[in-house]
Structure 1
Amino acid sequence: MTTPRVVVVRRRTEYDELLARHGTLGQAEFFLRSRGQSIQPVRERHERTGAAVAAVLGAIPAEWRRAEVERDELARFLFEDADVVAVVGQDGLVANVAKYLRAQPVIGFDPLPGTNPGVLVPHEVDSAPALFAAVVEGRARMVERTMVVARTDDGQELRGLNEVFVGQPGHQSARYDLAWRGRGETQSSSGVIVGTGTGATGWCASIARTSAPDAVLPAPSARELVWFVREAWPSPATGTTLTAGPLGPDEALGLRVTSDSLVVFADGVEADRLVLGWGQQVTIGVADRGLMTVL
Structure 2
Amino acid sequence: MPAANDRKVVLVTRKTRLEDLIAKYLTAAQARFYVEHLGADFSDYQREHDVYQAERHRTVQTLEQWGRYQIIDRSFLPNFLFGPADIVVALGQDGVVANTLKYLDGHPLIGLNPDARRYDGILLPFVPDDLPALLREVATDKRGFKAVTMARATLTNGQVLHAVNELFIGARTHTSAVYEIAAGDHKETQSSSGLIVATGLGSTAWFKSIVNGSLAIAGAFGGQTEPASYSAQAWDSHALRFAVREPFPSRTSQVHLVYGELTGSERLSVRSLMPENGVIFSDGIEADRLEFNSGTEAQITVADRVGRLVV
TM-score (normalised: structure 2): 0.90
Identity %: 36
Q: CA deviation at 1:77?
A: 2.3
Distance between the aligned counterparts of 1:88 and 1:102, measured in 2?
19
**Within 2, Cα distance between the matches of 1:231 and 1:144?**
32
Match of 1:270 in 2: 286
- The answer as to 2:138 corresponding to 1:123 is no
Q: 1:283 aligns with which of 289, 296, 299?
A: 299
Distance, in Å, in 2 between the alignment partners of 1:210 and 1:125 is 37
Which residue of the partner structure matches residue 166 of structure 1? 169
Q: Provide the rounded CA distance (Å) in 2 between the counterparts of 1:281 and 1:63.
A: 46
Match of 2:241 in 1: 226
Shift in Å, 1:33: 1.9
Match of residue 239 from structure 1:
254
8 Å contact kept, 1:84–1:105: yes
Which position in structure 2 is the counterpart of 1:22?
25
Work out the CA distance in 2 between the residues paired with 1:187 and 1:259.
Answer: 11
Distance verdict in 2 for CA 1:63–1:30, change over 3 Å: closer
> What is aligned with 1:77?
80
Tell me: CA distance 1:25–1:269, structure 2 relative to 1, closer, same or farther (3 Å). Answer: same
Q: Deviations over 1:146-182 (max 9, x none)?
A: 0000011121111111000110111421111111121
The separation in 2 between residues aligned to 1:156 and 1:78, in whole angstroms, is 17
**What is the CA deviation profile of residues 87-115 of structure 1, one whole-angstrom value per residue up to 9, with x for unaligned ones?**
00210111211232111100000111132
1:107 equivalent in structure 2 = 110
For 1:18 and 1:217, locate their aligned partners in 2 and report how far apart those are by CA, in whole Å: 36
Aligned equivalents of 1:70, 1:61: Cα separation in 2: 18
Counting matched residue pairs gives 295
Cα distance in 1 for residues equivalent to 2:87 and 2:60: 12
**Structure 2: distance between partners of 1:137 and 1:68:** 22
* Letter of the 2:253 counterpart: T
Stretch deviating more after TM superposition (85-94 or 255-264): 255-264
Query: In the aligned structure 2, how far is the partner of 1:58 from the partner of 1:14?
Result: 24
Cα distance in 1 between the residues matched to 2:66 and 2:29: 42
Code of the aligned partner of 2:275: D
Q: CA RMSD in A?
A: 1.6
Would the alpha carbon gap of residues 228 and 289 (structure 1) be closer, same or farther in structure 2, given more than 3 Å must change? same
Q: How far apart are the structure 2 equivalents of 1:76 and 1:259?
A: 28
Name the structure 1 match of 2:223.
none
Alignment map for 1:186-265 (pairs within 5 Å): 186-211=189-214, 216-261=231-276, 262-265=278-281
Query: Is 2:173 the partner of 1:157?
Result: no
Q: Which amino acid counterpart does residue 18 of structure 1 have in structure 2?
A: L
User: Partner letter of residue 11 of structure 2?
Assistant: V
Q: Secondary structure at the match of 1:290?
A: strand
User: Post-superposition, which runs of at least 4 consecutive aligned residues in structure 1 deviate over 4 A?
Assistant: 212-216
In structure 2, list runs of 5 or more residues that go unmatched. Answer: 216-227
